Every structure is written in C-alpha cells, then in structure tokens.
Amino acid sequence: MSSADRIERDGATWYTYRGAARRVGRHVQRIKEWRAQGMPMAFDNEGRRIVEESVLLAEYRRRLGRWPIHQQRMNQITRNTQGENIRPSPSVPPTV
C-alpha cells in the first residue's frame, strides 16, 4: 500500500478509497457504495475522500455479519468444533 493510500492524521489512520479497499479486501466500487449508503467519510487536504480506519472496520464487520456465505462458513466452523474445548465437569458428591 502506498503512503498516499494511508494517511496518519490526528492520531488516527485514514484511508483513501483505494487504501480502504485494500485494507478490507474489497473492490473500490464497494467502498464507494458503502459511502453512498451512509458510511461517514471526510476530505483530506488534497480534496480526496478518506475514511477513518475504525469506521471502515466497523462497517466491514457489520456487513460481513450479514453476508450469507460468511454466516454459512461460521456455522460450519462451529459445527466442526462443537464440544472440542468442553471438558466434563468433575463429579462432586453432594454434601449432607
């Protein structure tokens, strides 16, 4: 990622459309759609739209949770690991 795609400003990391798309593994057009659907963005000193990393990742997580393929993968993982980390509770004789 070039330094033009990632900007450090006010103690936070900001991304241009291209940088944001690379950060979350989506196409630039998808990031533009997210902005059109309400994801807050700002302008940098050169007039480019930029998005703060925390806002970008929150939007990504929100949308990932609604993505049917992701839900299917997570369900498959939880089915495959169900019970692996569960230890049986030790039997404790009742106190009288």
Residue-level pLDDT at 85: 53
pTM: 0.68
- Name the residue among 64, 45, 89 with its Cα closest to residue 16: 45
- Name the residue among 63, 77, 5, 6 with its Cα closest to residue 34: 63
Q: Which CATH number fits domain 6-79: 2.120.10.70, 1.10.1660.10, 3.40.50.720, 3.30.360.10?
A: 1.10.1660.10
- In the chain, what percentage of residues exceed pLDDT 90? 51
| 3 state SS of 3 | coil
Domain boundaries in the chain? 6-79
Strands 49-52 and 12-15: antiparallel
DSSP state of 86: P
